[in-house]
Structure formats: C-alpha cells, structure tokens
A and B are shown apart, each in its own frame.
Chain A
C-alpha cells in the first residue's frame, strides 16, 4: 500500500497562508489505513488549524471532509461542492490523490498535507516497511521474493557488497537502527529453496528507463477501455 506521513504543522500553516476558507480533505483508502490522512486525521488537522487560527486571532472557516479515493474522478465529484466553496484545499491523500484533486478542480489551490513516502508493507500494527520501488521490471522471481531494488540500500543487482556484516547492512536508518542486508536474506532464502545457483547469475545493469528515470509512465489496457 501507499504510505504517507503528515507534514509538519508549521509547513501546512504556511501553505495555507491567510486564506479564509480552508477545506482539509482526507482520503479513506491507503493513507487512512496507514493512519495518516483518513477522515479521522483530516478532522484532527482541521481542529488543530482552527485552534491555531483562534490562537493568532485570525478568523477562518476550517472544515474537513474525505473522499473514498481522491485518485478517482467519480469520488471527487462527491466532494465537489465543498471544494468549490474553499479558498484552499489541504489534501491529505497520497501524491496521486493530491494531484488528481488539483487537476480535477484546477485552478483551485490544492496543497499537500502529507509527504508520500513509500510503497510499504504493514509489518505489525502501526509499523510499515518499504517493499516495492515500482521500478517497472520486477526481479524478485530470481531473488527469492526479496526486492534488491528497495531492500538493498545500494539497489545492487549483484550483491552482497563488502558492507554486509553478519546479515546487517553497513548503512543504518536515520534513527540509527540496523537494516537487514537484502542480499544476505536472498542468499538464506535461496538456500532454503535449494536454488543457490541463482546467487551466481551475473545480472546486467538494470534498465532504469522502465522506472521513473524514463520519464512519466503511462499504462493503457486497450481491452478494458470503454467502447
């Protein structure tokens, strides 16, 4: 799923500026599941913004709403009236939802309330781990179901490197926590699968043009397009 984290409050306040009518729009799909931008969190942010405005003696009408999915035109239709009344919309959807909102209601000012950060797996309640980089050419069939693109700190296609020590990467998280060496994990699982020979395959450089390096991507399913 797509995960996101709420932006710092001060940044949101500066994006809103001194506009009077503010609509905080949550999205009830991915960002609601990761407890960042669903209806509940939209109401919390709206409440914070109202209290902040009152504190600064500023009069503002700050409301919240949410769409089932901000990335689909049909669901945006359902909140169009509220958006129409607002001077600025703080969208708490992922980057896709925010841009859909901005495009659908252009030139309405739509600003992000969150930083979209990854395609994550919920490891346990309230913990997400990055598992996919949407690189456009999946290799995990040969790497025992473990993605070297996002789980190896260096995105190596032929690992491990010399920085792997007792199963841990030489790189740590910003919080100084250890990161598992993806290629160590791949080796262990390939052994368990009896497919060790895949470890010795020399993989050529990855074609990053299928990832975001190739420009904005577009997918069309001709057989499913409306006739």
Chain B
C-alpha cells in the first residue's frame, strides 16, 4: 500500500515575522477522529488521566475516509482556529485506504487555504492507533501550540460556536455515540 501514500505538502515558509503569542488565546480546535483508532486513543488518554488542551473538540467519524474537503472548510468557516483529522496508522485502516484518502484531502485543503491567504498549517492529518493514548494527548498539545503561535483564525465570524456549527454541518457524517458494530 506504500505506493498510495501521499507525502504531506510542504507548507511555504511564513513570509511575515512571527506574531507574539497571546497568553489568553485558547484555540478552538476541531478533531475529526476515526472511530477505530484516534477516538479510542482519546478515550484511553482520558482513562490514563492525561492532560491535553481544553479547546479540543472531537467529532467521531466511522473512518477518516468519510471526511470530505468541505467538512474541513465548514469547520474553519464556522470559526475553528485549527482542524485536524486523526486516522489509523497507514496500512492499518479498517477500511483499507480511508486514512490515505483523508491525507490527500487534507493536503488539498492546505492548497485551497494557501490560495485564499489562510495559513495551511491550520489543517493537518495525524495517524495513531487505538493504543496510543499518550500520542493523542501529545498531538493535541502540539497542534494547539502551533495554532497559538498562528493566532486566531483570521476568517472567524463572531458569535459562532465552531463545535456546534461543525457538528451541524456534519449531520450526515458524524456517527452516534454507540458507533458502528465491530
């Protein structure tokens, strides 16, 4: 399956000087998490009492392959400061290639954001297994730090809850808490 793996798009070096990090800025981040890995990893992180930033809002998907370009854009438009997808390790997807499709789509969104003038680093794709609770917390912390350095989403609209808006936009995709049968 290695031939299908798409390299992460090299994001252009920031042209402007780094902005000072606002200590009061708590990024709101939407995570599209696969039911079979990252969502379980988040669960494990909780069971392990690991700490990770409170701005992380998780939306469970049956597979990151269900994630479409427009879902990432809707989350950003709704006001999320950053969005990432967390799928299974490459080669371990429950549906064979869903996570590879997701990586391609995330990379496409990076290109779209670049042409609009929004930092492509606001979206990312991560891979982890259901046993990687520590990694889940690590990724959440790392990504939050990245967004803190970038500052608030410049296209953010006032008075919109990104979680509620993204969840609503995803009505046809997000799966109920009980999830699909194993």
Contact = CB atoms under 8 A, between A and B. Distances in A.
Nearest to A50: B77
Given A47-B77, A50-B77, A55 B70 contact: no
A9 B68 CA distance: 20
B68, B70, B116, B155: residue with the most chain A Cβ atoms closer than 10 Å: B116
Contact of A54 (B69, B70, B74, B157): B157
Interface in A142-189: none
Interface residues of A, number: 13
Interface in A40-69: 40, 43-44, 47-48, 50-52, 54-55
A52 B114 CA distance: 11
A124 interface: no
B162 to A, nearest CB: 14
A51 B116 contact: yes
Contacts of A40: 68-70
B18 to A, nearest CB: 19
Given A40-B70, A47-B70, A51-B155, A9 B115 contact: yes
A9 B116 contact: yes
A10 interface: yes
A194 interface: no
Contacts of B155: 50-52, 54-55
Given A47-B74, A47-B77, A55 B116 contact: yes
A188 B69 CA distance: 43
Contacts of A52: 116-117, 155
Given A9-B115, A48-B73, 8 more contacts: A40-B69, A44-B70, A47-B70, A47-B74, A51-B76, A51-B77, A52-B117, A55-B117
7 contacts: A47-B70, A48-B115, A51-B118, A52-B117, A54-B157, A55-B154, A55-B155
